Amino acid sequence: MKFVDEVSIRVKAGDGGNGCMSFRREKFIENGGPNGGDGGDGGSVYMVADENLNTLVDYRYTRHHEAQRGANGGSTDCTGKKGEDLFLRVPVGTTVIDATTQEVIGDLIKPGQKLMVAQGGWHGLGNTRFKSSTNRAPRQTTPGKPGDQRDLKMEMKVLADVGLLGLPNAGKSTFIRSVSAAKPKVADYPFTTLVPNLGVVSVDRWKSFVIADIPGLIEGASEGAGLGIRFLKHLARTRVLLHLVDMAPLDESSPADAAEVIVNELTRFSPSLAERERWLVLNKADMVMDDERDERVKEVVERLQWEGPVYVISAISKQGTEKLSHDLMRYLEDRADRLANDPAFAAELAELDQRIEDEARAQLQALDDARTLRRTGVKSVHDIGDDDDWDDFEDDEDGPEIIYVRD
């Protein structure tokens, strides 16, 4: 199945049914009076988190969704039928955003969680509602109110406890295969991983955590090089990051340089995400001699001025992976206990999570805006250099109006 983590759709709630104007017309009943019923309410549109879904591909090809309209009122005081609500099922971890205002409507992070995104229209009133002692035969009715219509943007972020960072071929997919039952594709060429992969790591019989692998980053990813940084948003909700570094790269490049590239790209994407708990994991230790291994570890640590945990492993031979998994499980348990018992720590993490969400969304919106400008052929002011002749950018009075957008 195709992996789709961003879609734009339009939803329309059902309109309310119109009120009915009717009078009793029965034999032997004089002056029967009004008996027009109210219309029915329009159906609303809801998003529902479904743990059985892992992609938004269903909404890539069906962009318009409309709830049922309320039925009109009938005679003999019959109220119209209410329109049926429309339930759109989305993966757990989906953020719903109003595309017009960029307002976050809600996050669906729990299975079964429900979010109303468009309110159905209110029903119209029949003429029975307007009868009074001075108005015995009212001919007034009201139409149903229109339902809400909204353009929505949905972003899906995978929910995982641990996220993997690294260059292509750093061994991230091999590490997931080594510690979990997940079987992502592994090959000896860059960008083997094209979409995020999830694996469940079982430490003990009743203890496990979820680990996420995203496509590798390269230098310049923040400007769109390689697969770009769009997949970094899937690490926004992780609790700890593992920075995997290849100790024996095939091109004989420096592991310290590779580690620095990832840190720089991560910081450009979201400085707050760079503040997330991060562990340094040097992979492919079995391919380096012992004395050279220690030297490379020292070089990476000094280059990054690293003060956090450091692990030296070989994912393919499972050397050091068991200890790393147990330490991760212990860290996650201690973190959960502290969150439950330390309100200050919980507030601090909540504030960090919000900053990460805001920065990630702003970065992705900037990428979308730049892509739209390129598609429409309009230059951003940042793309206009000193060598550009501003006379060329003057609007032609006889031609279409051109608006230059600041991104």
Annotated binding site for GTP: 166-173, 191-195, 213-216, 283-286, 314-316
Tokens of 268: 């450009």
What is the tally of helices (H) and strands (E) in the chain? 6, 14
Distance CA 92, CA 102 (A): 21
Q: Residues forming the annotated binding site for Mg(2+)? A: 173, 193
Q: Residues forming the annotated binding site? A: 166-173, 191-195, 213-216, 283-286, 314-316
Distance CA 273, CA 359 (A): 9
Distance CA 254, CA 88 (A): 49
Cβ-based neighbour number of residue 206 at 10 Å: 6
Distance CA 93, CA 89 (A): 12
Tokens of 139: 């001919």
Name the burial class of residue 241, with classes exposed (0-12), middle (13-18) and buried (19+) by CB atoms within 10 angstroms of its CB.
buried
C-alpha distances (whole Å) from 375 to each of 216, 227, 370 are 26, 19, 9
DSSP 21: -
H or E element in which residue 323 lies = helix 321-341
Tell me if residue 340 falls in helix, strand or coil. helix
Tell me if residue 123 falls in helix, strand or coil. coil
Contacts by 307-310 with C-beta closer than 8 Å and gap 24+? Answer: 308/277, 308/278, 308/279, 308/280, 309/279, 309/280, 310/279, 310/280, 310/281, 310/282
DSSP 277: -
Q: Which residues contact 155 (CB under 8 A, 6 or more apart)?
A: 5, 6, 94, 95, 97, 233, 361, 364
Distance CA 364, CA 8 (A): 14
Distance CA 125, CA 122 (A): 10
291 - beta bridge partners?
none
